[in-house]
Amino acid sequence: MNNKVIFGLYVPTNSFIHRLDPRMKFIACFWYVILVFFANNVWTNIWLGLILLLLIHLSRVSLKMYWSGIRPLMWVIIITALVQLFFSTGGHVYWQWHFLSLTSSGIIQSIYLVLRFAYIITISTILTVTTPTLQLADAVESLMKPLKYLRVPVNQIAMMLSIALRFIPTIMGEVTTIMNAQRARGMDFSTGNLYQRTRKLVPVMIPLFVSSFKRAEELAVAMESRGYNPNGERTKYRLLIWRRADSWSIVALVLVTVVLIALKLL
């Protein structure tokens, strides 16, 4: 259970995409999401879908993983699509009842909407299955660097992020221990309605908070004894290396964008 959390959805298949620089993957993912919002006709949507299929193929991760990314959000997608379907106007009207109507443009719009959702979820799944969480954190830190000029404490934020990641399994283990301790005292976490079950978590959260504060204090002293100075300049051990493949990927990204614009103007 602990490992699942720390690795996120990461699937180590060591594919071409896995070996790319996380910064590049991060930018590319972000850019793709922007492109998704520009796609407003059949051809642009097909084009983005093809790109996605190519990336899925390159990642050498099974389709099941991608499906498991979409599944939890299925209901959100369906409900939003239904709203879009019955509330939009324009085009040929097939059916009407009070304020609800089924129109040709509504059908098309809701199909695009479903695709949009699916594309965005899948591209972020590609990012998380091919990039370890730690590298993602490094990428975020590296990409935030320019914010230093706006006096954003980038180093401290990065340190916080990395410590948070490191302590997730520890805290998860602690939750299990506290819950077992409460069970041993007769607590039953598995019955009752949502409200009752939530209330039962209070005697778990309070000891958890107390021990987390204690941990934080000890960790802070340990960090200080090893010379940590939050405002000081530090060198960095883990390096992100920008390779030629990353530069080519950026070129590919530009090409994808150019083709998309061309298809849009078609």
Partner 1 sequence: MAIIEIKDLSYTYPGEQEPILKHLTASFPAKEWTTIIGRNGSGKSTLARLIDGLLPIGHGQIMVAGTPVDGEHVDLVHQKIGFVFQNPENQFVGTTVEDDVAFGLENHRVPRDEMRYRIQQALNDVSMAEYAQTEPAMLSGGQKQRVAIAGILCLRPEILIFDEATSMLDPQARQNILGLLRKLKIEKGFTIIAISHDPVEAAAGDNVAILNQGQLVAFDRKEQILANTDLLQKYGLAVPFTEKLKQQLRGQGMQVPKEYMTEEQMVKWLSQQ
Nearest to partner 1 of 94, 213 (CB atom): 213
236 scored as a contact of partner 1 (CB under 8 A): yes
**Residues 158 to 197: which contact partner 1 by CB under 8 A?**
162-163, 165-166, 169-170, 173
Least distance between partner 1 and beta carbon 14 (Å): 14
Match 């061309």 to its residue by tokens: 262
Least distance between partner 1 and beta carbon 257 (Å): 35
Q: How many residues interact with partner 1 (rule CB under 8 A)?
A: 31
* Angle, alpha carbons 200-183-177 (nearest 5°): 95
Chosen residue from 87, 94, 189, 228 binding partner 1 by CB under 8 A: 228
**Residues 129 to 148: which contact partner 1 by CB under 8 A?**
134
Q: Give Cα 149 distance to the centre of its chain.
A: 27
CA–CA gap between residue 170 and residue 35 (Å, rounded):
39
Which spans in 71-132 are helix H? 74-87, 104-130
Query: CB of 27 within 8 A of CB of 147?
Result: no
Question: Binding string to partner 1 for residues 64 to 103, with x set by CB under 8 A, is what?
Answer: ----------------------------------------
> How many secondary structure helices (H) and strands (E) does the chain include?
11, 2
241 scored as a contact of partner 1 (CB under 8 A): no
Q: Which residues pair with 102 in a beta bridge?
A: 95
Chosen residue from 102, 107, 175, 215 binding partner 1 by CB under 8 A: 215
Least distance between partner 1 and beta carbon 83 (Å): 42
Alpha carbon separation from 261 to 45, 134, 255 (Å, rounded): 12, 35, 10
CA–CA gap between residue 52 and residue 207 (Å, rounded):
46
Q: Hey, which bits of the chain come out as E strands?
A: 93-97, 100-103
Q: Which amino acid, residue 240?
A: L
Nearest to partner 1 of 146, 232 (CB atom): 232
Least distance between partner 1 and beta carbon 88 (Å): 47
Nearest to partner 1 of 201, 208 (CB atom): 208
The residues of the shown chain that bind partner 1, judged by CB under 8 A, are 2-3, 6, 134, 162-163, 165-166, 169-170, 173, 215, 218-219, 221-229, 232-239
